[in-house]
Structure formats: C-alpha cells, structure tokens
Structure 1
Amino acid sequence: MKHLVAVYGTLKRGCSNSGLLREATFLGEDALTGLTLYDLGPYPGAVIRPSDGVVVEVYAINDRILADLDVLEDYFPAAPEESLYLRKRMATHHGSAWVYIYNRPVASHRRITSGVW
C-alpha cells in the first residue's frame, strides 16, 4: 500500500462503489474542515471551502486502486481542466491523503451542512 485516500461519497463502506476499495486497508474516519460537501444527485461533490467538517473514510491503497479511482472520478492527470474531479492531497488524522475535489460550479446544488452523505 503506497497511498492514502479519503472518501466521502459512493466509495464509503456499504455504498454503491465501495467494492473498488475491497482490497484496501480501512484506517478510520476523520472530519475535514477544509471541505464543503454538495448534493449532486446520485453522488456528492466536495469543494475546497471551510465548513464544520466533511466526514471521510481513510484507506491505504496501491497504485492499481488509485488508477481505478481516477477512472471512476473522471480524473485526467494530463488534462485536469477537463476532469470532473481533481485529486488533491489533504491532511487527515491518518496522514496526508488524496481527496477527489469536484471541478464544476456548485452554486445550483444543495449544500450538505451535516458533512455526511
């Protein structure tokens, strides 16, 4: 396991895309106050904006899982401006982790004030 990733939506335990993390090591939860969460319909999106905290699950993952997550999140390292999500490092209680940040406007979406999706 070479990377940490912090997830807040469909990748969380019991959610629709959690199977992508079946070989990952669950390290625990955290609340990231540097993020604000928005309801995008079938999934949430977090943007870098202060809040009371977005609840994340932190996992240790390998290169293959990270590549699979990039595909799921429509993250294109060679063309970030075209990506639906950007991958940014953020501090967690478990260490510096990759977090997928929504790369579109959120003004028309409902803010999830609880920080839990």
Structure 2
Amino acid sequence: MSGNLGATTLKRRRRSGDPMRAFDALPRPLRRWLAGAALPWSPASCRRVWDRARRKGLSTQDTLQLLSRAEMNTLARDRQHTIIHISSGTLASQMHSSLPSSHARN
C-alpha cells in the first residue's frame, strides 16, 4: 500500500504530459464531473468516454450519467474484490507484515 490509495485492487498508472493542461482543455461539464469523481480518472480517459458518447448522439447529461455508472461499476468490482481478499486474510496478512516490527504482534 502506498500513499493515500488505501486498500484497493485498482491498477496504478503513470501519466505522461501535463495533467492540469489536459484537465483545463476538457469541456466545462466534464471538468465539474471529474472534480467530484471518487476515482482518480485521467483527463484522457474521461475525454475518450466523452467524445465517444457525444459522437453517438448522447446529451451532456446522458454522457455524465454514463461516466457515473462506469465509476459506480468500477467501485463495486473493487469493493467486492477487496472484501474477498480481506475475508480470506490475504490483505490482512499483507497489512500486518508491512507494520514496523514494534507494532507487529507475535
């Protein structure tokens, strides 16, 4: 576990380019949605979903709902996977082994 990611099975990815410039280039409704998102979406992935939905003729509101559903589905998958790991002891044992020896119980 690293930084503030917490217990998650989601893959971490390195980003290239200037993420703030990419964020600023997004349409205003998409920037507002992204600012309140629960997951660390990249501006590039949001832009891909946005462009694809708009090409299909979806309204702005429908496109934002599509993004919200995608986020909810991802969170649900991660939550289920994390629960399985916790109940099997995998995550708990990893967390225990990462504690400094003064905090580990024998």
TM-score tier after normalising by the smaller chain length: under 0.3
Higher relative contact order (CA 8 A, sep 6+): 1
The structure whose Rg is larger is: 2
Higher share in helix? 2
Higher share in strand? 1
